[in-house]
Each structure stands twice: as structure tokens, then as C-alpha cells.
Structure 1
Amino acid sequence: MSDPIFFSPPPQTSLAEIAAFAQAEIVRGDPDLPIAGVAPLEDARAGMLVFFDNVKYLDRLAETQAAACLVAQRHLTKVPEGVAALVCKDPYRSWALVLARLYPDALRPAPVYGPIHGDARVSERAVVHPQAVLEDGVVVEPGAVIGAGAEIGAGTVIGANAVIGQSVRIGRDCAVGANATVQHALIGNRVILHPGVAIGQDGFGYSMGAGGHVKVPQVGRVIIQDDVEIGANTTVDRGANRDTVIGEGTKIDNQVQVGHNVIIGRHCVIVSQVGLSGSCTLGDYVAIGGQTGVAGHVEIGMGAQIAAVSVVNDTVPAGGRYGGVPAKPVKQWFREVTALKKLAERGGDA
């Protein structure tokens, strides 16, 4: 079996160029030192760049064969003598900046099928309604369906078997992954929807009763602002009687559920398997750890952080750091966990 290379090796780059990309300072090493690529600490060989920001991997740093390392000032003395050192404020962020320059094709999903018959941009095996409007440069891969009245901006790629519903609006330079579905939605520019994302389907709304449950029609939309990225198999329900909104720059991981009428602010980070119940509101820059549930109609204030595997069932103030079940300020949560541990240990000695 052959061993394909999915991302082309970058051109050889000097250490000085890497420092410029990373917004870092060369404190040890030849600025003309050639850098041929990147690697993890344990796999690096001559000519490779690595980064270090977690003390759990000190042993791997000590043994690395890399040519150069991005590192914070506080860990500079841990970099082996034979390795060039580039000091930066946040090594992981600097690493991201370098990767973006060396591997630009990895920043957004690539077309699955590849070039479509030379200059053609719309596959003959796609179904595009005559009333759909596609700007120049839109790529539509085989099996995709684009409904009547849909409008799609220049530079956007619609992946294989994706479905774009009637009257949907998608901005410029977006990527809609294979098998994604988009309905009842307005999407801004530079939005990335990974494979299997479902946008704009019914929210979960029923009037429950002993004689049966009456479905409540969901008549709102989904509004996704610029520079949002949504991970594979995440679902975003359309609003019930107003819009579900995801603010600009927000990043959502795989397998997240966003219920109807949810408002997510700008530049939030929501990790895998989070569930946001209907009508909850997140302020700007909120971060929520994986497998956390947020109850309906709850508000989480700007800049708040929620620990993984928590249950948020009440208001979280701006800047709050909460965790646990139910979620509470982390200091209180840690005290309770410690007290419970001590109580259990005493019980075991009895």
C-alpha cells in the first residue's frame, strides 16, 4: 500500500523567517539555519521545528533531535544546547502562526473530489436549481444539491453530497463540508462547516400533554456571522420564534448541539459534546469545556469559563469560572470536592 502525503512539504525556510512568522526572538541559533518542516518533540529530526509549552513533556524536550524550538522565556533553560531557541510569549499560538504560513492548505477543508474538468467549477453531477445564484469562483462538488433562490458568494466550496436549502445565503470564501446540510440560514464570509454539519433543521419544540404532544412549528432562522468554524457532525437548530445566532469568530468543536433560539456571542469556544438548550445566551468570549450541558433560558456572561463535564442551570456572571454539577464557582467546587474526599476517607477508616 502506498503512503500518500496529504499536505505538501513546505519550502525550506530560514530560522529568521520562522521567527518573523512566529513573532518570536532568536536567542540562540544561526538566523540562516534552514528549517525543512515541523514535527512533535519525540519525532523531530535534523532541520525540524518543534514547540514546547507543557512541563509534562520535559523528558521529550530533553531528548529531541530538532533543529529549533519555540519556547516561552520561563522554559528557555530546558531547551537542549544543540537546539536553536526562539522565545515567544505563547509557544502554541506562535506554532499556529508558523503552521499557517508553511501549510496554508490545511487552514480549511480541501475539495474532496479535486479539480472538476479543467476550468469548470460546478460538477456535472451536482444539482443546482436554475433560480440559484452562484458568484464566479464557487466550486460545487459531485452530488451536491443547491435549492431554488439560494445565493452563494465567490470562493466558496460546496462539498460532495452537501445540501443547500431554498433561499439560503452563504457568503464568500466559505467551506461547506461533504454531507453537510444547510437550511433556513444566513451565513457570513469565511465560515467553515465541516463534514456532516446540520444547520437550520427544526428545533425541538412540543406542547406536551396527556393526549399526545403537539408539534410547535419552528419559524425562525439561523444566523452565522463571519469567521465562524463549526466542527463535524455538530447540529444547529433554527429558531422557534426568533433567530438562533452564532457570533463572529466563534469556534465550535465536533458533535455539539445548539438548540433553537440560542444566542452565542463573538469569539466563543465550545468544545466537543456540549449541549446548549433552547434560548440560552452566551456572551462574547465564553469558553465551555467538553460534555457540558447548559439549561434552557440560562445566561452565561462575557468572558466566563465553564469546566468540562459540568451542568449549568443558573446564570453565570461575566468573567466567572464555574464547574461541577450543578456548576458553581470553581473555588467553591474544589472545596466541596476536597471536603467530600476527606469525608469518604474518614468513613473508610472507621
Structure 2
Amino acid sequence: MSIAAGPVARTAEALARELGGELLGDPQAPVTRIDTIDSATTGSLSFIRTERFAEAWVLSKASVGLINQSAAGQARELAQGRALILVPDADLALVRVLEMFAPPQAKPEPGVHSRACVAQSATIAASASIGPNCTLGEEAHIGDGCVLVANVFVGRGARVGAGSVLHPGVRVLDRCEVGERCLLHPGVTIGADGFGYRPGPQGPVKVPHIGNVVIGNEVEIGANSCVDRAKFGSTTIGDRTKIDNLVQVGHNSRIGRACLICGQCGISGSVKIGDGVIMGGAAAIADNLEVGDRAQIAACSGVMNNIPPGEVWIGIPAGPAREYKRNYAAFRMLGKMLPHLKRLMRADEGAL
């Protein structure tokens, strides 16, 4: 699906000027929509981040392309009859373009919808918007400019900071705290009980979880992700951390600032994650481990040991990427080596 530019189309020259990029080719090439490189048509803008995308540009019908300077080896030839805008980072430039072309968002009116259920002791800032079928418990607090779109539950004593937006189906349970300018997508649950049981004579015995969850400022949490409340104390998520859909954060975990956690990751209880950590999709961390600042965990990895700061780990069980790659290369050679090893073993047996 393409994204149209709305009533005001741009030329390649104007767009290059707004992005601070170098223009090659036709300055009057029109930009009326944004498309993927393979589905683009006349008037489309697409982007080129690698040489592979540059090859696809030759067959594309796009009028204008954003191209990484690192992938611009034959840019002047590629721009013939069209336009290319050279930028240091095509992905970051595309973010700015998407902001320019984004359709205007209707700002909800402040106030409480007639179908909302609000406890008498709850406090709501005058500039906040509480949509239909929202429920606010006793002593809940909703800050300035907050938007609870619809069907949002905020429990007893829970707090939502100024400027935060909670989409339909979000649950912020008792005594949990959401910081300022946060974005919680549909179905997020903050403060469900942690998964804690002890063996007993009649079967598992549930461990009470009487702590809460504290989320920092400018945190984004994707649809249907869950952050469990602490057994005691707080499960915490640091400022500017971004969490994808379907992520599980276990009780008493502490996630640092500006982390990126991709979809379907599982973080067990009492895990400590430093600042700037990146977790690829479906990665998992066992309980009570530590991940150092700026570490990276590859997709589908299973972390069973502490990760030092700045290291890249991969695999199941996860280990340092260089070591894993060497081991994997050796593993792939086993099929070719096995006949030779068998001959050597037979020779040794014959010598005996």
C-alpha cells in the first residue's frame, strides 16, 4: 500500500532541500506518494539502502529515490531521467519523509466520555481525554494531555503520566505507573501477576506478587505485550526504551534506557538489562541474568549466561558471535570430515 502525499505534492528539489541531501538528476521529478521499490509507479518515492536495492532501482518505476551515500557508487548513472537524493542514512531520511506525508491525526477533545466509568477518588487532568468504556479505579491518576482511546482499564492507585496515549484494550493494573509521553498499543497489560510457584504437597503453591511496575518516560510498548508486576519492589523499564509486539517481561526485571526489544522476546524474572541493549526477535533470557550496556542479542538466541557490555551474542545456548561462527563453520564441515575420520579410526584399530 502506498502512502499519498496529500494535497501538497513535492518536487525532488524541494524534498532534497528539506532533507539536506544532494540531488542528482531531474529537480522537477514529482513526489506524490511513498512506495516500496518493487511496487513504485510514476510519482513514487522509494529508498535504496544497499547495492541490492540499487539493482532493483533499475527495474523500478519510481520517480525519486533516497539513497545511502555508501550505496551510491553509480548514482549519477542511476539518476538518468529520474532523481536520486543522496543522504548519509536513507532509513533516517525516510523517517522524516514519513512524518511529512503522514495524514493529520484527529486530536481527541478533552473530557470524560459519558460511557466511561470513573471512581470518585480518581483524578483526571482537565486536558486529558477519556474515551468510551474506559474504567478508572479508586485513586487512579491521569496526567495532563493523556489520551485513553477506548476500553482502557487503569486500576486502583495506578498513574499515567502527562502526554501518554493508551490504545484500546490496554490494562494498567493496581498501583502501577506509566511515565510521561508513553505509547501503549492495543492489548498491552501492565502489572499482571508474575509467574511464581513453589512445589507443595498438594501441587504448585502460588507466590503472591505484591509489588508493581514502573515505566519511564517516552517508552513505547507494542500490541499484546505483558510486563509482570514484581514479587516485591518494582519491575522497571527505563526511559525511551521501545518494546515490540508480543513481548513478555518477567517479574522484578529491570530494563535500562533506550533499549530495543523486538517481537516475541521473552525476558524471565529478575533479569537486569543495561542501557542501549538490542534484542532480536524471539530471543530469550533465562532468569537472574545480567546483560551489559549496549550488548546485542541475535534473533532466536537463548541466553543462559551473563553478557558483558558491548558484546554481540548468538545461538542456543547463546555465546559470543565470533566464537559461535567459528564453531558453526566447523560443524558444517563435519559431514565432509566424517569419512576421513572413520578411515583414520580404522587405521588405528588395524595398527593395534
TM-score, scaled to structure 1: 0.89
Match of 1:311? Answer: 302
Counterpart of 1:208 in 2: which secondary structure? strand
Structure ID, larger Rg: 2
2:300 is matched by which residue type in structure 1?
A: V
Check 1:174–1:348 CA distance in 2 against 1; reply closer, same or farther (3 A cut). Answer: farther
Q: Is the 8 A contact 2:291 2:308 kept in 1?
A: yes
RMSD (CA atoms):
2.4
Cα displacement (A) at 1:58:
3.8
Identity %: 35
Check 1:289–1:10 CA distance in 2 against 1; reply closer, same or farther (3 A cut). Answer: farther
Q: Is the 8 A contact 1:275 1:293 kept in 2?
A: yes
Match of 2:239? Answer: 248
* 1:35 correspondence with 2:31: yes
C-alpha separation between the residues in 2 aligned to 1:241 and 1:256? 22
Q: Is the 8 A contact 1:289 1:307 kept in 2?
A: yes
1:267 is matched by which residue type in structure 2?
A: A
Check 1:23–1:181 CA distance in 2 against 1; reply closer, same or farther (3 A cut). Answer: farther
Check 1:139–1:254 CA distance in 2 against 1; reply closer, same or farther (3 A cut). Answer: same
Cα displacement (A) at 1:258:
0.1
Match of 1:61? Answer: 57
Q: Which moved more, 1:74-83 or 1:240-249?
A: 74-83
* 1:45 correspondence with 2:44: no
* 1:130 correspondence with 2:120: yes
Stretches (4+) displaced over 6 A: 5-8
TM-score, scaled to structure 2: 0.88
* 1:22 correspondence with 2:37: no
Cα displacement (A) at 1:12:
1.9
C-alpha separation between the residues in 2 aligned to 1:61 and 1:151? 52
* 1:92 correspondence with 2:104: no
C-alpha separation between the residues in 2 aligned to 1:8 and 1:222? 41
Match of 1:292? Answer: 283
Match of 2:270? Answer: 279
C-alpha separation between the residues in 1 aligned to 2:6 and 2:67? 23
Q: Is the 8 A contact 2:140 2:154 kept in 1?
A: yes
Cα displacement (A) at 1:139:
1.9
Counterpart of 1:92 in 2: which secondary structure? helix
* 1:339 correspondence with 2:336: no
Cα displacement (A) at 1:144:
1.4
C-alpha separation between the residues in 2 aligned to 1:94 and 1:17? 14
1:86-139 alpha-carbon deviations (Å, 9 max, x no partner): 111110111012112221657xxx78xxx6xxx563221121222211112322
1:192-233 alpha-carbon deviations (Å, 9 max, x no partner): 110011101111122223443322221222111111110000
Check 1:343–1:323 CA distance in 2 against 1; reply closer, same or farther (3 A cut). Answer: same
Match of 2:213? Answer: 222
1:53 is matched by which residue type in structure 2?
A: R
Correspondence for 2:167 among 164, 170, 177 = 177
1:292-335 alpha-carbon deviations (Å, 9 max, x no partner): 11011111101000111111111101100000111111011111
C-alpha separation between the residues in 2 aligned to 1:8 and 1:86? 18
C-alpha separation between the residues in 2 aligned to 1:6 and 1:57? 20
Match of 1:140? Answer: 130
C-alpha separation between the residues in 2 aligned to 1:347 and 1:131? 74
Check 1:8–1:49 CA distance in 2 against 1; reply closer, same or farther (3 A cut). Answer: closer
Aligned length: 337
* 1:202 correspondence with 2:221: no
Structure 1: runs of 5+ lacking an equivalent: none
Match of 2:350? Answer: none
1:105-120 map, 5 Å: 105=104
